[in-house]
Amino acid sequence: MSKNKKTGVILAALVLIIAAAVVIWLTVGNKSGDSPAATETSGGATASKDGDTKSLEQTFYIYDTVVNIKVFGNTVEQKNMDDIQAMLERMDIEFSRTKTNGELYAVNQAAGKEAVAVSDETLDIVKLSLKYAEEMDGLYDPTIGPLVDLWAIGEGGERVPDQAAIDKARSLVNYKDVIVDDAAKTVKLAREGMVLDMGGIGKGYAADRIADYLKEQGLNSAMINLGGSSIIALGNKPNGSPWNIGLQDPDQSRGTQLGTIKITDEVIDASGVYERYFMQDGVRYHHILDPRTGFPSQNGLKSITIMSPNATDADALSTGVFLMGLEDGMKYLEALPEKVEAFFITDDNKIYATSELKKRLNLTDSTYQFAD
C-alpha cells in the first residue's frame, strides 16, 4: 500500500471514531437548557458547570483512539486529568506489542528463549487474559498476535494472506503456552514466534483503572469513553438521573445511532465488523479473528454489545462471545454467574437481546428490529 493510501485509511478511521464519540457525547450531554460558558484550564481540560456541580472534560489520543473523560464534582481539578493521562500513556506503552520500549514487546521478543520480568500491572493484565482464555476455551486468546500481525487489518494489510501463512501463524496461537511466574513476576512464551496481544482487553482494563482512580479520589460521577467501544458510566449524573447513552449503528456509513439506553455504574463494550476491515472479492474481512480458523469470523453477526459491571470482563466477552455466534453466545452469557447483559445484531439487522436488556433498549432507527 502506498504511503498516501495508508494515510488516507488511518484518517478515515479516525473520522469514524470521532463521529462515534460525538454521537455518544451529544446523547449524554446536558439537555436541560443553556449552561454557563465553558472555560479551558491551563492543562487543556474544559471546565464547566452542571447546575451547582463543577465538571472537567478532556480529550486525549491514546491507545490509537480518541479518549474522552468527563468528571463531575466540585473537587475535580486538572491534576486528576493529568494523572489519568499519565496512567493511559504508561499502560499504552506497557501493553503494546509494537512499542519497542514496552514490557509486552520485550516478552514477545524473548519468545522461546527466556522469561521477562514485568511490572505488577502487566502481570495482572496477562493473568486476566489467560483466565478469560481458559473460561472461553480459547475463543478469546491473548496469543492471537501472529495472526493479527499477518492480517495487519487497519495497518496496511489490505489483502487475504495465503493459506500456508495463515496455518503457520495459527500454529503459534495457544494461550496454554504462556508461562507466568507470580513469585518472580515474569512472563515467558514457550515457543519462538509467539506474540502476546492485549488488544482484546486493553481498553477495558484501562477504563477500569481510571474508574478505580476516580473513586479513590472521591469522584463518583464520570463518563469514561475509550473510542466509543469501551464506555464506563460512573455513578449517576450530578442531578441524580442515569446516563443516557447512544448505541452505535454497526453500519457506520449511515452516521447514526440505532437507539439509546439509560445506565448507572455500568459498562458498555461493543465489538463489530464495522470497526476495522477491508473488502476483497465482495467479502468483508474484519479485525475479529477466529483462532480456530485463522480467518475473520463469518457467522452472520454484525456486532455484539456487552453490558457489565466490569470493563475488562466486557472487553474480553465482546470478542469471545462474538466468535461463539448468536446461539452459543447467548447460552454462554445466560449461564454466567455474574450479571452480564448483551444484544447481538445479525446481518439482516435483527436484534437479539438478553431478556432484561431488551426491556431497557430504546430503538430509534427503524432499520433495526427486535427478533421474534
pLDDT at residue 316, rounded to an integer: 96
Spatial distance between the Cα atoms of 301 and 324, rounded to a whole number of angstroms: 10
Which residue ranges of the chain lie beneath pLDDT 70?
Answer: 1-37, 157, 252-255
Residue from 104, 134, 120, 105 nearest 182 by CA: 120
pLDDT at residue 254, rounded to an integer: 57
pLDDT at residue 217, rounded to an integer: 98
Is there a contact between 330 and 315 (Cβ–Cβ < 8 Å)? no
Spatial distance between the Cα atoms of 287 and 151, rounded to a whole number of angstroms: 8
Neighbours of 47 (CB within 10 A): 16
pLDDT at residue 255, rounded to an integer: 61
pLDDT at residue 3, rounded to an integer: 41
